[in-house]
Amino acid sequence: MDGSIPVRRAVVTGGAGFVGSHLCDRLREEGTQVVCVDNLLTGSADNVRARSGDPGFTLDVRDVSEPFDVPGLVDLVLHLASPASPHDYARHPVETLRAGAHGTANALDLAQRKGARFLLASTSEVYGDPLVHPQTELYWGNVNPVGPRSQYDEAKRYAEALTTAYRTTRGVDTVIVRLFNTYGPRMRPTDGRAVPTFVTQALAGKPLTVAGDGSQTRSLCYVDDAVGGILAAAASGHPGPVNLGNPVELTVLDLARRIRDLCGSASPITFVERPVDDPGLRCPDITLAHSALGWQPVVDVDKGLAMTIDWFARLG
């Protein structure tokens, strides 16, 4: 599949989740029919409620870890189904591993049956606590396979291996993207990741809880940019893996201060124990995304944070 061939119908697993729902919206805006497959474990029907009554959109509530089919033609399968925040995969470790293993296999089988392009939404977490900085796609990672984050890290690493195997031995047209610290509207207040945690604390006038001394870094990519990168990868003939993230690197402490200022909050900053295996550095090398996909993020971090804060403020 290449960018000159329109995608008539796409399947988005995890399509009622944070990133998945934005992806469904963008596909519908481009005229693609969408089948959203989600068991709503961490996703929410509210995220796709605006699509209610849209004849080109279907919400199919099911667990992709069980074999499933989608009747009719399918040009593109986008596999995003998985818990994605530390709080979620700590609560649902087996479900997370099943989504990465069985869910990926079932989505790949669907793509193979339909002759569809397949995209795996992987993660920067495959790099673990990196010893190479910034992280390129050639870096193999530094991952603890039995640590408290292992269910997510290893699920995605296995999913990448399985996707590669289907490409090399079964001829499935696949691409792998690795998302870095995506943020934006529709993140849950209790998500547990830094942006929604700091925003909800600042808006409520509560102390902002920074893990460790806050010197660890993150690279925030606004969700609209991430979705644009996903669709650029899907439209390309590139197999990946390819990093999709914003190379503007911030310390967690600086992020907390920026969010506090943007919220106009006087909340103090307090320091709490840093989680085990919390990555010390996170920054993508996006040279490949730029050269192979013609993609780079365009939303300024402060602008993206302001739009995210506005969304949380409207939640009340």
Domain CATH number, residue 41:
3.40.50.720
Is position 173 within any domain? yes
The answer to whether 79 and 104 have CB atoms below 8 angstroms apart is: yes
| Catalytic residue chosen out of the listed positions 152, 166, 183, 222 | 152
Is position 229 within any domain? yes
The answer to whether 292 and 242 have CB atoms below 8 angstroms apart is: yes
Neighbours of 165 (CB within 10 A): 14
Residue located via tokens 């667990």:
63
Tokens of 262: 């943007």
Distance of CA 43 to the CA centre of its chain: 12
d(C-alpha 231, C-alpha 297), whole Å: 13
Query: What's the confidence (pLDDT) of residue 5?
Result: 63
Give the amino acid at 244: L
Is position 259 within any domain? no
Please report which helix (H) or strand (E) contains residue 308, including its range. Answer: helix 301-315
Is position 191 within any domain? no
Is position 272 within any domain? no
Is position 207 within any domain? no
Is position 257 within any domain? no
d(C-alpha 158, C-alpha 54), whole Å: 35
d(C-alpha 265, C-alpha 221), whole Å: 23
Non-local (6+) Cβ contacts of 315 within 8 A are 189
Domain count, the chain: 1
d(C-alpha 24, C-alpha 26), whole Å: 6
d(C-alpha 167, C-alpha 175), whole Å: 9
Across the 316 residues of the chain, what is the mean pLDDT of every consecutive 10-residue run?
72 98 98 98 96 96 98 98 92 97 98 98 95 95 92 97 98 98 94 94 96 93 98 97 96 96 95 87 95 97 97 89
Q: Cis peptide leading into 239, omega within 30 of 0?
A: no
Whole-prediction pTM: 0.96
The range of the structural domain enclosing residue 232 comes to 9-183+221-247+284-298
Query: What's the confidence (pLDDT) of residue 77?
Result: 98
Q: Strand locations in 113-160, DSSP E? A: 117-123
Does 127 participate in catalysis according to the annotation? no
Query: What's the confidence (pLDDT) of residue 1?
Result: 45
Is position 306 within any domain? no
Tokens of 186: 């529709």
Return the axis-axis angle of helices 194-203 and 252-263, rounded to nearest 10°. 40
The answer to whether 79 and 121 have CB atoms below 8 angstroms apart is: yes
Helices and strands, number each (H, E), in the chain = 10, 13
Query: What's the confidence (pLDDT) of residue 2?
Result: 46
d(C-alpha 16, C-alpha 2), whole Å: 26
Tokens of 172: 């499935």
Non-local (6+) Cβ contacts of 210 within 8 A are 252, 253, 256, 269, 270, 271, 272
Paired with 157 in beta bridges are none
